[in-house]
Amino acid sequence: MAEQTTISRRDFIKVSSAAGAGLVIGFYLPAKNRLLAAGIESQKSFEPNVWIAINTDNSVTLTVGRSEMGQGVRTSLPMIIADEMDLDWSQVQVSQAPAHPDRYGSQSTGSSRSVRTLWTPLRKAGATAREMLLEAASRQWMVNKSECYTENGAVIHSKSERKLAYGDLTTSAAKLPVPPKVSLKSAEEFTIIGKNIPRTDTPQKVDGTATFAMDIEIPGMVHATVVRCPIFGGKLKSFDSRKAMQIDGVLDVFEIEEGLAVVAESTWNSFEGRKAVDIIWDEGATGDLDSSKIDEMLISRSKKKGAVGRKAGNAKRALSESAKIIDAVYEAPFQAHATMEPMCCVADVRNDMCKIWAPTQLPQRAQKDAAKITGLPIEKVELNVTFLGGGFGRRSFNDFVSDAVEISKRITKPVKLLWAREDDMQHDYYRPVSRHILKGGLNEHGDVTALTHRVVAPSIIFSSYVTFPVPFREKLDKVALEGAKNVAYNIPNILVDYKMANTAIPVGWWRSVYDSQNAFATECFIDELATAAEKDPFEFRLELLSNSPRDAGVLHLAAEESGWNTKPPIGRYRGISCHASFGSYVAQVAEVSVENDDLRVHRVVCAIDCGQVVNPSIVKAQMESGIVYGLSATLKGEITIERGRVAQSNFHDFPLLRIDETPEIEVYLVNSSEPPTGVGEPGLPPIAPAVANAVFAASGKRIRRLPIRMGDLPGA
Amino acid sequence: MPRFILTVNGKEQSVSVAPDTPLLWVLRDDLGLTGTKYSCGRGLCGTCTIHLDGEPTRSCMTTIEYAEDQEITTIEGLSQDGLHPVQKAWIAEDVPQCGYCQSGQIMTAAALLRENSMPTDSDIDVAMKMNLCRCGTYQRIRKAIHRAAEEMRRG
Ligand code: FES
Ligand code: FES
């Protein structure tokens, strides 16, 4: 049954038609937050955030306000509109919205939220456009609207088989009032949603024509790179650029907000210049900070009570009354994003305007920052969002955009700024280091009676990167408990608390954020409890998920598809985990072998329930991607601190997973017509615990620290 | 500044740069061939892979002086129409995500298939393992190489 939806007064719609340009429909569909929406409503009643342009040549341009960083928004978002509108997919063109304070709603791209938050607004927009075109055709034919239907970008009158393409209806549709009510399709009626529609950006990404910020070329442009203070909290004391200025092509070296800029005729000249500048840094208070000091600080903070994020029953009492108490400490290190495209940005600052090309996940913020740096009004700052060469949360920070704007302003020329890989790796906003203290209680039947989990980690939200130790007030950072406080397991007594442990190291949103560490600790510990209870890890979890059908559903599916109840091939061992994040439920089974400390992951079976699947191929790709990204953090690199700086600098000491280390990955999608939920991140958290639990099955050794270093394990 | 005559994608080009300038930056900044990307600058990631006389080569580690007498092929010159069997297979398998590493992946794969028309999984591992992809498209790369190999064998 089709679902009726009301286009409320809050859903402002603006229809316009210009001679020859066809029909442009802009919808202002408010955010979920009613208060916020109401606030925007009163001031900005005609700033649509969904744009559909029907051109007279029958092509349709759909504007996407979110950044494309590989997750497929330039395909999945248009698919949603196109389906409700009954468009001919081959006529759909996709355009990327530039930054605008409010025209495209929030353009912040992260938290796996594009599809899940835009699902309803985009469908309403598509359905309204379709309804207006249908109305326009029926009036032209002077027939009853109920005798007409839409298909492949045209309205058809069923009795007479007359047909009018959308492009021929734009002028008349533009004159119609916006319908007060439209019906949305039911899942069975979808013709595009749920299909493996090829990504719209693939052709450009296989012939080298896809434009990344690094590929922008504007007349008169020069090149620049930066040198940042390697010590967090340190600053520039003095520099001598004489040697650098002798290098051919180096044009200028000067101080900027965050260190030094080297401007040159080519990228290479700027890189050469960068190496030749003699710099003296003021190390500040952090010059002797290192990983072992940070660990000690975390250990000492872990001994004190934290801010409570979840409390059910009385965990302390239940623990004291339990037949068996298990406890364990888990640790996860800092991680770098290491997008393959280092930070880069093109900026052209003039007296009266500023143009920027930036691969950013937060375009509106970048635009605002640029307005501040240049002193220009925001409408004079044009910010074009290019393709992102990977995002994963790194590009929700716009430090590189600010650099480019600052440099261009100073030299009054357009500039292409590119950070060297070394600067990219040493000046990231890292996944926070973390320490997890867990205790569990079992009764004499092996039932879990209590679980406590203390998360000790720097807070992203409340962080300050200035001094160490950073003074802070104890606060509950709920984000830091994501994936710890919301365990789905039916345990009567639970206590989850958070102990803030800020350091001078900048921390930020690293793909799946705290869910990555919290899932590792929780899902490995649940395995420890299963062992203590002498139960099968899958059966044990399933029992505890009796009230959580969607968690149990994916767990079941992954177990079944992996052949959990059958013997693995000789020498192989399986581990299982399940974790819900960003609205989606994911379970994974990893199959590993361990021979003389050589750990190999051979196969990963992944089941996901993300509600209605918009594009199965994209969902599967995101699962594969999250698993590989998570495996790098499970098996390969970590970020450590020495003398106040990041010890790693490039892919030799921060290795990433390679093709020969990549397991066979099978992804199974739960068939569902629930509203869609996130896919960019949820595939990541379960992989580390699935692998660690498989290592236990193979070797009897518990992995309680990432990345896994088999040789370093006790008893190894 | 010395002048160098290069043959890039079958066309002669001349540039004046220092002899130790990496080919990568000459391609990108002087010749406007931006399909070849930079990521590590140290021969560690394969993002900058081009062909030198048909051999997959890291352009970030190749000086202009060294490249002068050789045929240089970049992603822009791999095929006339962007439809080399490897590119077609990449589209069919929906390989790219962010896409940044893909020029390098495709150039390495195309070189492999010229040498070996029926690569096994371990041949693919050996040829491709120096090409990093942070988006983790490896599984699809593997499938796409098998697909391209099949198409090339059928002719
Ligand atoms: S940029 Fe040349 S190998 Fe990484
Ligand atoms: S597709 Fe993004 S790095 Fe390979």
Span A345-393, pLDDT tens digits: 999 999 999 999 999 999 999 999 999 999 999 999 999 999 999 999 9
Measured in degrees and rounded to the nearest 5, phi and psi for residue A576 equal -130, 155
Residues B67 and B89 in one domain: no
Residue with token string 């501040």 = A372
Alpha carbon distance A35, A351 (integer Å): 38
Between the CA of B37 and the centroid of ligand 1 the distance, in Å, is 8
Query: Cis omega (within 30 of 0) on the bond before A121?
Result: no
CB burial of A105-133 (b: ≥16 within 10 Å; e: otherwise) equals: bbbbbbbbbbbbbbbebbbbbbbbbbbbb
* B81 CB neighbour count, 10 Å cutoff: 7
Which of these three, B77, B100, B116, is where a domain ends?
B77
Which chain A residues are closer than 8 Å to B47 by Cβ?
Answer: 340
Alpha carbon distance A254, A610 (integer Å): 50
DSSP bridge pairs for A486: none
**Do B102 and A206 count as a contact with CB atoms less than 8 A apart?**
yes
Residues B71 and B90 in one domain: no
C-alpha dihedral sign at B123, B128, B133, B137: negative
> What is the SS3 assignment for A133?
helix
Alpha carbon distance A399, A422 (integer Å): 16
Token pair for A9: 């007064």
Token pair for A522: 């929780």
Token pair for A373: 């740096």
Between the CA of A334 and the centroid of ligand 2 the distance, in Å, is 22
Residues B67 and B106 in one domain: no
Amino acid present at B15: V
Please, are residues A381 and A357 in contact by the beta-carbon 8 Å criterion?
A: no
Q: CA dist A555 to A38, A181, A521, A552, B3, Å? A: 41, 40, 18, 5, 64
* A534 CB neighbour count, 10 Å cutoff: 9
Q: Given CATH 3.30.365.10, say whether it is the number of domain A213-284+343-418.
A: yes
Query: Cis omega (within 30 of 0) on the bond before A414?
Result: no
Residue with token string 């930036």 = A358
> What CATH number did the domain enclosing B23 receive?
3.10.20.30
Amino acid present at A84: E
Which chain B residues are closer than 8 Å to A628 by Cβ?
Answer: 133, 135-136, 138
Please, are residues A554 and A578 in contact by the beta-carbon 8 Å criterion?
A: yes
Residues B61 and B114 in one domain: no
Between the CA of A263 and the centroid of ligand 1 the distance, in Å, is 22
Which chain A residue lies closest to B38 (C-alpha atoms)? A341
> What is the SS3 assignment for A499?
strand
Q: Report the pLDDT value the prediction gives residue A51, as an integer from 0 to 100.
A: 76
CA distance B64 to chain A (A): 12
Q: CA dist A575 to A526, A664, A695, Å? A: 12, 15, 7
Token pair for B98: 């962010």
Token pair for A233: 């909290």
Which of these three, B58, B77, B96, is where a domain ends?
B77
Give, for A573, the enclosing helix (H) or strand (E).
strand A573-581
Q: Report the pLDDT value the prediction gives residue A595, as an integer from 0 to 100.
A: 92
Alpha carbon distance A673, A2 (integer Å): 13
- Using a CB–CB cutoff of 8 Å, tell me whether B121 touches chain A: no
Mean pLDDT of B24-37: 98
- Chain Cα centroid distance, residue A337: 11
Alpha carbon distance B130, A656 (integer Å): 11
Q: What is the CA radius of gyration of chain A?
A: 28
Token pair for A469: 């130790």
Please, are residues A54 and A166 in contact by the beta-carbon 8 Å criterion?
A: yes
Alpha carbon distance A190, A210 (integer Å): 30
Residues B35 and B89 in one domain: no
Residues B8 and B73 in one domain: yes
Domain boundaries A9-203, corresponding CATH code: 3.30.365.10
Q: Report the pLDDT value the prediction gives residue A125, as an integer from 0 to 100.
A: 85
Q: Report the pLDDT value the prediction gives residue A49, as an integer from 0 to 100.
A: 53
Alpha carbon distance A604, A576 (integer Å): 10
What's the CATH architecture for A291-335+430-712?
A: 2-Layer Sandwich (3.30)
Please, are residues B104 and B117 in contact by the beta-carbon 8 Å criterion?
A: no
Residues B46 and B96 in one domain: no
Alpha carbon distance B7, B13 (integer Å): 6
Low-confidence ranges of chain A (pLDDT < 50): 1, 9-12, 18-20, 31-48, 465-471, 716
Question: In the 8-state DSSP scheme, what is residue A639?
Answer: B
- Chain Cα centroid distance, residue A222: 32
Where are chain A's structural domains? 9-203, 213-284+343-418, 291-335+430-712
Which chain A residue lies closest to B84 (C-alpha atoms)? A207
How many distinct structural domains can be found in chain B? 2
DSSP bridge pairs for A512: none
Between the CA of A116 and the centroid of ligand 1 the distance, in Å, is 36
Q: Report the pLDDT value the prediction gives residue A705, as an integer from 0 to 100.
A: 97
Return all residues near A712 (Cβ < 8 A) that are at least 6 apart. Answer: none
Token pair for B76: 């822009």
Which chain A residue lies closest to B83 (C-alpha atoms)? A207
Residues B145 and B105 in one domain: yes
Token pair for A628: 């590989």
- Chain Cα centroid distance, residue A207: 26
Alpha carbon distance A701, A716 (integer Å): 9
Please, are residues A134 and A173 in contact by the beta-carbon 8 Å criterion?
A: no
Between the CA of B25 and the centroid of ligand 1 the distance, in Å, is 12
Q: Report the pLDDT value the prediction gives residue A14, as an integer from 0 to 100.
A: 55
Token pair for A234: 């340190």
Alpha carbon distance A561, A576 (integer Å): 12
Structural domain span for residue B108: 85-154
Which residue puts its alpha carbon closest to atom 4 of ligand 2? B133
Please, are residues A431 and A507 in contact by the beta-carbon 8 Å criterion?
A: yes
Residues B50 and B93 in one domain: no
- Chain Cα centroid distance, residue A274: 32
Residues B143 and B120 in one domain: yes
Measured in degrees and rounded to the nearest 5, phi and psi for residue A382 equal -100, 120
CA distance A167 to chain B (A): 30
Q: Report the pLDDT value the prediction gives residue A688, as an integer from 0 to 100.
A: 98
**Do B132 and A629 count as a contact with CB atoms less than 8 A apart?**
no
- Select the residue of B29, B32, B87 nearest A266 (Cβ to Cβ): B29
Return all residues near A102 (Cβ < 8 A) that are at least 6 apart. Answer: A40, A44, A47, A49
Is pLDDT at B107 greater than 60 in this prediction?
A: yes
Residues B123 and B89 in one domain: yes
> What is the SS3 assignment for B134?
coil
Token pair for A11: 């859903």
Which of these three, B46, B77, B108, is where a domain ends?
B77
Which chain A residue lies closest to B45 (C-alpha atoms)? A651
- Select the residue of A206, A214, A215 nearest B106 (Cβ to Cβ): A206
- Using a CB–CB cutoff of 8 Å, tell me whether A338 touches chain B: yes
DSSP bridge pairs for A16: A24
Token pair for A664: 């066979």
> What is the SS3 assignment for A135?
helix
Ligand found nearest the CA of B57: 1
Let me know if the fold of A9-203 is the same as that of A291-335+430-712.
yes
- Select the residue of B45, B79, B96 nearest A202 (Cβ to Cβ): B96
Q: Report the pLDDT value the prediction gives residue A2, as an integer from 0 to 100.
A: 56
Question: In the 8-state DSSP scheme, what is residue A198?
Answer: P
Please, are residues A587 and A686 in contact by the beta-carbon 8 Å criterion?
A: yes
Closest CA to A669 of A561, A593, A594: A561
Alpha carbon distance A524, A530 (integer Å): 10
Residues B17 and B61 in one domain: yes
> Which of A67, A69, A214, A340 should be mutated for ligand 2, with most atoms under 8 A from CB?
A340
> What is the SS3 assignment for A153?
coil
Q: Report the pLDDT value the prediction gives residue A27, as an integer from 0 to 100.
A: 66
C-alpha dihedral sign at A638, A654, A394, A258: positive
Closest CA to A26 of A17, A37, A14, A18: A14
Token pair for B72: 């240089």
State the distance between the two ends of chain A, measured CA to CA, in whole angstroms.
61
Q: Report the pLDDT value the prediction gives residue B110, as an integer from 0 to 100.
A: 98
**Do B94 and A660 count as a contact with CB atoms less than 8 A apart?**
no
Closest CA to A275 of A244, A250, A296: A244
